[in-house]
Amino acid sequence: MAEAYRWRVQEHGPTGSVIREAFDPPSPGPGWARIALRAMALNHLDLWTTWGLEGVKLPIPITPGCDGAGVVEAVGEGSALPPGVELGSSVMIAPGLSCGVCAACLRGDDMACAAYKVLGHMCDGTAATHVLVPAANLLPIPPNWDFKQAAAFPLVYLTAWEMLHRKAKLQPGESVLVWGGGSGVGSAALQLARLLGGHALAVVGDDAKAMRCWELGAEHVIVRTREDVAKKVRELTGKRGVEVVFEHTGTATWGASMAAVARGGRIVTCGSTTGVETPLNLRALFAKQITILGSYMGRREHLWTLLEFIKRNPTNPPFFPVVDRVFRLEDYPEAQRHLEAGKGFGKVVCEVAP
């Protein structure tokens, strides 16, 4: 058997500054399971966990990685497994961990739980050959998906669904501006906007990404390097603006988001990958009657909702995880640098040799 190892953030540093470390994967305790990973996918959280976040104390040393898929290798005593999952099953992992017994958890808002943790950010994650997770976080992989697609699914779809459906309440016929249409969460948002009956306008950095956004259901694509995004949005919407802005980029795009949203529209925001501080013109906010919605992760139950859509239409699924480039887990630091460069389209994935 190949050596078990994990990538560790020993101390915060630049992108890729993680240390490879051999380890003995521990046995899962009651309620937990051990997954032999076959693929993991990167998110911006991998970078933030590596860099460290101002004002947030992360438990280092830590293994980054929020998304993963693999095989159930061991199950803790007395652990109930979700439907369709048993020892030896191929599974993917829901990235949010919560207490399961507080009022927020009981009403399904696990991400509002005081004990909420994201795998690979506040506890050891998937940049490893093995990971321990609560059995309740396991999900069966749809038959048509391989481990790479499965790893690319949970975090961005959970996030995009929560933002579009539950927070912004996107309605059929409404238009939504999706920043970063080529990013992992952007590629999910474009497809989910179409599923919800919305009209998606994608923003991208170059023409190659524009082509891919059309394929994912964008009705218009704006190339921000040569077009004024807010001006183009007004032009495309008969001066009205979009009902919803899907914002995850932060400082660099906030001003244009405020200008592009329609009167009475909603801006839903997460991530802020270009920065978290931005001026806010309160007159624009109240005069245009804009609602700003903060969003973080999503309800774990909604991953099951999304899998239902796939199950009901396996031959023509309404969405699919978009995999950009596949690295080997051995090259995880390089995968981090590729993600940071932002040149790809969709999710950056690392494969784990069995």
Given the rule CB under 5 A, which residues bind Zn ion? 98-99, 102, 105, 113
96-97/117-118 β-pairing: antiparallel
| Cβ within 8 Å of residue 238, ≥6 positions away | none
Strand spans (E) along 209-301: 220-223, 242-247, 261-269, 291-294
261-269/291-294 β-pairing: parallel
Tell me the two tokens of residue 9: 């953030």
Q: Residue holding tokens 């999710």?
A: 347
Residue nearest to Zn ion (CB): 113
Query: CB of 113: closest distance to Zn ion in angstroms?
Result: 3
Query: CB of 102: closest distance to Zn ion in angstroms?
Result: 3
Q: Which is nearer to Zn ion, 99 or 285 (CB)?
A: 99
Is there a contact between 151 and 92 (Cβ–Cβ < 8 Å)? yes
Torsion of CA 181, 299, 125, 127, to 10 degrees: -30
3-class state of residue 12 by DSSP:
coil
Q: Which is nearer to Zn ion, 97 or 193 (CB)?
A: 97
Tell me the two tokens of residue 242: 């979009």
Query: CB of 116: closest distance to Zn ion in angstroms?
Result: 7
Tell me the two tokens of residue 68: 């993963």
Cα–Cα distance for residue pair 34/30, rounded to 1 Å = 11
Q: How large is the angle between the packed helices 184-195 and 154-161, nearest 10 degrees?
A: 50
For residue 242, the cross-strand partners are: 261
Closest CA to 198 of 165, 224, 167, 225: 165
First to last CA, the chain: 9
Query: CB of 108: closest distance to Zn ion in angstroms?
Result: 11
Query: CB of 98: closest distance to Zn ion in angstroms?
Result: 4
Tell me the two tokens of residue 37: 């990973």
Closest CA to 350 of 38, 64, 66: 38
Tell me the two tokens of residue 145: 């998906």
